[in-house]
């Protein structure tokens, strides 16, 4: 099968798997990240096919949507085998997907250029106007408040604390989103991140200016 067909079939497969997901991993997140990954890949002279395939499949293996991380990765491998992907391409895609997630922030830097590109594309979708919307949607889906002054932001969390501990949408900005600008791998993503970062800072300023309960 040629690469164009593999991408087309993979798009259909991922669409069917994720179009009903409402916790921030919906199909349009995938579509935006895939388009961004392609744009950055061209700018940075990375392998476009690997970037596009890894971006399309990156949330299929998410541990939140599967029984375990291993089960999720196996699902991706099964799919890639079913469309006749060669072993070394599967290895490159799996290596990206298995190491790109945030999980508290303490992950080592991505080793391949393609991994750096896809991780940047995913992170750009977590910040700026879209990132703000996704944060409140995710918090709502987990029953978290938009803001709780009693809960202080957590820093230097372990992966378990990041997933399990109680937080709020506003705290998530301090626990993750405002740290992402400095973590961008590629020059192109760093540039885009600047404006999105400023927008979040402005948003938080406005949020706290409007937050008045009489107890401040």
Decide which of ligand ADP, Ni ion, none touches 102; Cβ closer than 5 to 8 Å per partner kind: ligand ADP
Decide which of ligand ADP, Ni ion, none touches 126; Cβ closer than 5 to 8 Å per partner kind: ligand ADP
Q: Which residues contact 40 (CB under 8 A, 6 or more apart)?
A: 46, 51, 117, 120, 121, 186, 188, 189
Q: How far is the CB of 184 from ligand ADP (least distance, A)?
A: 14
Q: Which lies closer to Ni ion via its Cβ, residue 29 or residue 197?
A: 29
**Rounded Cα distance, 52 and 92, in Å:** 12
> Sign of torsion, CA 86 90 93 96?
negative
Decide which of ligand ADP, Ni ion, none touches 193; Cβ closer than 5 to 8 Å per partner kind: none
Residue 160 to residues 21, 103, 142, 164, 165, Cα–Cα distance (Å): 23, 8, 16, 6, 8
**Rounded Cα distance, 134 and 16, in Å:** 21
Q: Which lies closer to Ni ion via its Cβ, residue 122 or residue 175?
A: 122
Q: How far is the CB of 8 from ligand ADP (least distance, A)?
A: 25
CB count within 10 Å of CB 46 equals 21
Q: How far is the CB of 187 from ligand ADP (least distance, A)?
A: 21
Q: Which lies closer to Ni ion via its Cβ, residue 5 or residue 142?
A: 142
Q: How far is the CB of 122 from ligand ADP (least distance, A)?
A: 6
Residues in contact with ligand ADP by the rule CB under 6 A:
24, 101-103, 126, 131, 134-135, 138-139, 144, 167, 169, 172, 176
């Amino acid at each position: 099968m040629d690469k164009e067909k593999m991408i087309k079939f993979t798009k259909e497969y991922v669409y069917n798997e994720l179009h009903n997901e409402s916790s921030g991993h919906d199909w349009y997140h995938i579509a935006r990240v895939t388009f961004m990954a392609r744009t950055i890949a061209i700018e940075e002279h990375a392998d476009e096919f690997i970037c596009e395939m890894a971006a399309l499949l990156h949330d299929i293996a998410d541990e939140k949507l599967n029984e375990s991380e291993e089960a999720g990765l196996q699902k991706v491998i099964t799919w890639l085998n079913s469309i006749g992907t060669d072993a070394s391409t599967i290895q490159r895609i799996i290596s990206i997907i298995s190491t790109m997630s945030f999980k508290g922030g303490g992950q080592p830097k991505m080793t391949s250029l393609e991994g750096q590109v896809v991780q940047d594309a995913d992170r750009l979708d977590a910040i700026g106007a879209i990132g703000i919307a996704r944060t409140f949607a995710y918090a709502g889906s987990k029953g978290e408040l938009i803001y709780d002054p009693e809960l202080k932001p957590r820093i230097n969390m372990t992966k378990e604390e990041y997933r399990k501990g109680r937080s709020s949408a506003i705290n998530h900005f301090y626990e993750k989103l405002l740290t992402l600008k400095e973590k961008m791998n590629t020059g192109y993503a760093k540039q885009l991140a600047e404006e999105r970062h400023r927008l979040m800072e402005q948003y938080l300023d406005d949020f706290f200016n409007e937050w008045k309960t009489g107890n401040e």
